[in-house]
């Protein structure tokens, strides 16, 4: 197998690929030689780039089916193919579940579960028409597999996204592979909103077995693997990228530090 991580000639879409985790993913795919198309509601100040390759931006609200179809069709028309989709766009502000409005909850579930389905459907139509098929990677969160207080609707949506990936992997096989990355805590430009100042980030990092939060590029590396020929027999899988997880709270409670 010659250079299995070389994506030269491959065409990729990364939703929300201009910042945070999405930017790290875009940069890794670009560095591997892929042609990368990103989307968002607003034009970013800078575009992801690597080794002289730059991502191409398309305005698109991934919650709007017509905009999604137009976006994916435009990529296929321009590039002639679509090999990789990374459903990365998502997120949620912290909100108490008891007081969250129905409209708020619907918006969170729409962005984090229904939107990835819309984009995956459009990508699948293109990939099924190609002899080489394609790879779809959904970006989920550890909130999908453990309690998510303060972001309950988000955690429920991400849990649904994990299950969606297993179902699509069966329905769309053998031509299209579908996998999910379950991300742990990631150090992005918005980390302070969740973890506080530098001291807060350091305290959070100390709860992770590997001793640090993930960098966006760590998630990008996982995407690169799943999109490559090295993962040609991997579909319907969920890959935990969380630095070893979180230390169970009962351990500290049962063995408190001595003064």
Tens digit of pLDDT per residue, the chain (259 long)? 578 999 999 999 999 999 999 999 999 999 999 999 999 999 999 999 998 889 999 999 999 999 999 999 999 999 999 999 999 999 999 999 999 999 999 999 999 999 999 999 999 999 999 999 999 999 999 999 999 999 999 999 999 999 999 999 999 999 999 999 999 999 998 777 778 888 999 999 999 999 999 999 999 999 999 999 999 999 999 999 999 998 888 888 898 765 5
Residue 6 included in any domain: no
The number of distinct structural domains making up the chain is 1
Give the CA-trace dihedral at 173, 221, 107, 48, to 10 degrees: -120
Give the domain CATH number at 175.
3.40.50.720
Of 158, 159, 195, 235, the active-site residue reads 158
Of 26, 105, 141, 148, the active-site residue reads 141
The verdict on whether 158 is a catalytic residue reads: yes
Residue 257 included in any domain: no
In Å, how far from its chain's centre is CA 221? 12
- The two tokens of residue 116 are 């990835």
Residue 200 included in any domain: no
The verdict on whether 129 is a catalytic residue reads: no
- Would you tell me how many other CB atoms lie within 10 Å of the CB of residue 75? 24
Residue 137 included in any domain: yes
Domain that holds residue 111: 11-184+216-238
Residue 194 included in any domain: no
The verdict on whether 154 is a catalytic residue reads: yes
Residue 21 included in any domain: yes
């Amino acid at each position: 197998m010659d250079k299995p991580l070389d994506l030269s000639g491959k065409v990729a879409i990364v939703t929300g690929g201009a910042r945070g985790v999405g930017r790290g993913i875009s940069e890794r795919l670009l560095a591997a030689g892929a042609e990368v198309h990103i989307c968002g509601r607003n034009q970013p100040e800078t575009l992801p780039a690597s080794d002289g390759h730059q991502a191409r931006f398309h305005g698109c609200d991934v919650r709007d089916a017509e905009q999604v179809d137009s976006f994916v069709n435009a990529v296929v028309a321009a590039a002639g193919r679509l090999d990789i989709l990374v459903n990365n766009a998502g997120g949620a502000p912290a909100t108490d579940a008891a007081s969250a409005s129905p409209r708020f909850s619907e918006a969170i579930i729409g962005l984090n579960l229904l939107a990835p389905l819309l984009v995956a459907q459009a990508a699948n139509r293109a990939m099924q028409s190609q002899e080489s098929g394609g790879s779809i990677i959904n970006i989920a969160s550890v909130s999908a597999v453990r309690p998510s207080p303060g972001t309950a609707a988000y955690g429920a949506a991400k849990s649904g996204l994990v299950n969606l990936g297993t179902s699509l992997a069966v329905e769309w096989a053998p031509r299209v592979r579908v996998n999910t990355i379950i991300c742990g805590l990631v150090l992005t430009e918005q980390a302070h909103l969740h973890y506080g100042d530098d001291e807060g980030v350091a305290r959070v990092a100390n709860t992770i077995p590997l001793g640090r939060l993930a960098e966006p590029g760590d998630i990008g590396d996982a995407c690169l693997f799943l999109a490559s020929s090295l993962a040609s027999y991997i579909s319907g899988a969920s890959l935990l990228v969380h630095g070893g997880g979180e230390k169970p709270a009962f351990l500290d409670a049962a063995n408190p530090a001595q003064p």
